[in-house]
Amino acid sequence: MAQQQHTPTTPPTDKVAAITGGGSGIGAAVAEQLAQAGYRVAVLDIQIDNARAVAQRLHAQRPDGAVALAIDVSSPQSVDEAFGALEQHFGKAADVLVNSAGIMPVAAVMECSWEMFRKAMDVNVGGTFLCSQRAARGMIAQRFGRIVNLASISSERAGVGRVAYGTSKTAITGLTRQFAMELGSHGITVNAVAPGPVLTPMTERNYTPETRAAFEATIPARRMGVTNEIANAIVYLCSDGAAYVNGVFLPVDGGYLAAGVGTT
């Protein structure tokens, strides 16, 4: 499997990055790559033990460089407290925010409960909104910021059982554009990365062997992605060099959306 390591040439060592959902999957890979690039990293997750385990690994690279913080991204109070704790810990606001916290409820249109639908909207869309708005306060004050949201191929394609998840991911692309437009004049960029199917605990929970085989047959790369491949794109969008990239929807999907087939 093509695990690729990101090796930036100019590490921005004074910067602080906040990664929601940093305790697992794509968020954990982003946390590790940003730490390697010299960022101080806050690993934010509702599963605090997982966040602590990731932060512990990052300590090995830079003892003062990582903190684990509990957050429920769907709660305004929890978001405010977590970002307040981040600012206290590092003595400054976050320069970078990666909104990777997310859930994937699977249910067909006629079986999806209101609670399930609402929960996907609250965590995936509401969480991205709340964390971005809270982090942007500090970014506006310091006239620099990078926000990267996790959209999905499900933002663009319908799929079996994806009514709640896909709808929430489509909303994230609209939210990304709106934030990009309104925050661009403050030195802040807001972009969305849209992974194809990636091997993470989320897909392990939700994909049957048939789902995976069907995906692999329709992805031009003929395989699922790995977390570092998504993190590579996110780390680029967080970099100083990406200052003029704002409001984009960047598929990192092995060519899946370009091939134009439906999500299985």
Which residue, 26 or 180, has its beta carbon nearer to ligand NAD?
A: 26
Binding mask 77-116 for ligand NAD (x = CB under 6 A): -----------------------xxxxx------------
Site for ligand NAD in 123-152 (CB under 6 A): 123, 127, 150, 152
Catalytic residue among 165, 207, 236, 244: 165
Q: Is 207 a catalytic residue?
A: no
Tell me which H or E stretch contains 143: none
* Tokens of residue 82, six digits: 């977590």
CA distance 202 to 152: 13
Note whether 203 binds ligand NAD by CB under 6 A. yes
| Binds ligand NAD (CB under 6 A): choice among 132, 170, 189, 200 | 200
Give me the DSSP letters along 83-129.
HHHHHHHHSS--SEEEE-------B-TTT--HHHHHHHIIIIIIHHH
Tell me which H or E stretch contains 131: helix 127-142
Identify which range of 9-17, 136-144, 190-198, 209-217 contacts ligand NAD by CB under 6 A: 190-198
CA distance 77 to 66: 23
CA nearest neighbour of 163 among 249, 101, 104 = 104
Q: How many Cβ atoms from other residues are within 10 Å of residue 117's Cβ?
A: 17
CA distance 71 to 51: 10
Note whether 45 binds ligand NAD by CB under 6 A. yes
Note whether 73 binds ligand NAD by CB under 6 A. yes
Note whether 170 binds ligand NAD by CB under 6 A. no
Binding mask 204-243 for ligand NAD (x = CB under 6 A): ----------------------------------------
CA nearest neighbour of 19 among 122, 121, 123, 146 = 146
Note whether 191 binds ligand NAD by CB under 6 A. no
User: How far apart are CB 172 and ligand NAD at their closest, in Å?
Assistant: 8
CA distance 89 to 118: 33
Distance set, CA 195 to CA 65, 106, 107, 152, 161 (Å): 27, 18, 21, 5, 18
Question: Any idea how long the chain is?
Answer: 264
| Binds ligand NAD (CB under 6 A): choice among 27, 105, 126, 251 | 27
Beta-bridge partners for 96: 17, 146
| Binds ligand NAD (CB under 6 A): choice among 84, 174, 184, 201 | 201
Which residue, 152 or 167, has its beta carbon nearer to ligand NAD?
A: 152
Which residue, 127 or 138, has its beta carbon nearer to ligand NAD?
A: 127
Note whether 32 binds ligand NAD by CB under 6 A. no
* Tokens of residue 168, six digits: 């929430």
| Binds ligand NAD (CB under 6 A): choice among 105, 145, 195, 251 | 195
Residues assigned a catalytic role = 165
Q: Which residues bind ligand NAD (CB under 6 A)?
A: 20-21, 23-27, 45-47, 50, 71-74, 100-104, 123, 127, 150, 152, 195, 197-198, 200-203
